[in-house]
Amino acid sequence: MTKFLKILSCFFVFAFLAACSNNVAEADNTKEPVVKVFDQYLYSSDITGIIPQGASITDSINIAQTYINNWIQDQIMLHYADDYLTNQLDEIDQKTTDFKNSLLIHKFKEELVNFNADSIVTTEQISKYYNTHQNEFKLSGAIIKGFLVMIPINAADLNNFKNLLKQSDENDIDEILSFCNSSSGFFEDFTHNWSDFSEKIMKIPYAVTDENYFLNTNKYAETTDDNFFYFLYISNYVSKSEIAPLEYVSTNIKQIIIQTQTNNIINQFKQEKYDEAVQQGDIIFYN
């Protein structure tokens, strides 16, 4: 049984509505109307597409009935909205046109860029941009590399672990991680990725009033509360107002290059088509 035949059984619920209409001649004679609300028709072909493949007859009927009921309610609201908002229809039409035009232009720009843009940004391009625009990459806050540890205050052998942390370097990461796992602690490793210092220091109950001074004079911060021992290790840092390292801003630079390329493609297209339209008389200025 086809999907269309499956839902025919639900149409008898609404067939009398169409049969009682004295104005069916206004409908599309090539289609079978299911229901008319004021001067709007719903056709069987509008409903068949909403029934999922493999749906049972019962499910098909329920889906169709729900769709028809919702459609009827929408048409009622639209009818009275159109009547009540008559004075605002021009404004609504203009907003609809403006939105449609904006959407069309946006989609066309996307297609134009996708067709013409080079999606590959090389490391050479990124380095070149970085070297010629370094003043754009001054840090608003310090960044660091290192790791963060939180260990329950009652963990066994905590004192020896503290000594390990104070003498630690990147070669001890596995040992530190192992202790954290065995003690139900927390370990965050960012020894190979730059992170915001303010973000990391906020994770521990440790007050820093002058981050540049702190970073210049400390390799780690440690503190405790009633539940945990906290340790922030700093293997490298770049202070506030200094130039950010290339690896920290390379992703942003890549996006800048892509956006610049996008703007160039769109602006070049606009100018070429403007000149072409003027030459061909498609743009006419009136005094």
Structurally, how many domains does the chain consist of?
3
Closest listed residue to residue 45, CA positions, set 7, 71, 15: 7
Q: Is residue 95 part of a domain?
A: no
Is 106 contained in some domain? no
Residues 127, 182 within the same domain: no
Burial of 84 (0-12, 13-18, 19+ CB in 10 A): exposed
Do 226 and 145 share a structural domain? yes
Grouping H, G, I as helix, E, B as strand and the rest as coil, residue 46 is: helix
Q: For residue 260, give its domain range.
A: 123-133+246-279
Q: Are residues 269 and 127 in the same domain?
A: yes
The per-residue pLDDT for 15 is: 43
Tell me the C-alpha distance between 272 and 266, whole Å.
Answer: 10
Per-residue pLDDT at 271: 95
pLDDT attached to residue 285: 80
| Residue 272 and residue 192 share a domain | no
Mean pLDDT of successive 10-residue stretches along the chain, which has 287 residues: 44 40 56 90 87 87 92 93 86 92 93 82 94 94 95 91 80 86 93 95 93 93 94 94 95 92 92 92 84
Q: Please indicate, yes or no, whether residues 170 and 232 belong to a single structural domain of this protein.
A: yes
- At residue 151, what are phi and psi to the nearest 5 degrees? -125, 135
pLDDT of residue 169: 65
**193: Cβ contacts below 8 Å, ≥ 6 apart:** 145
Contact partners, residue 78, CB within 8 Å, separation at least 6: 40
Residue 99 domain-assigned?
no
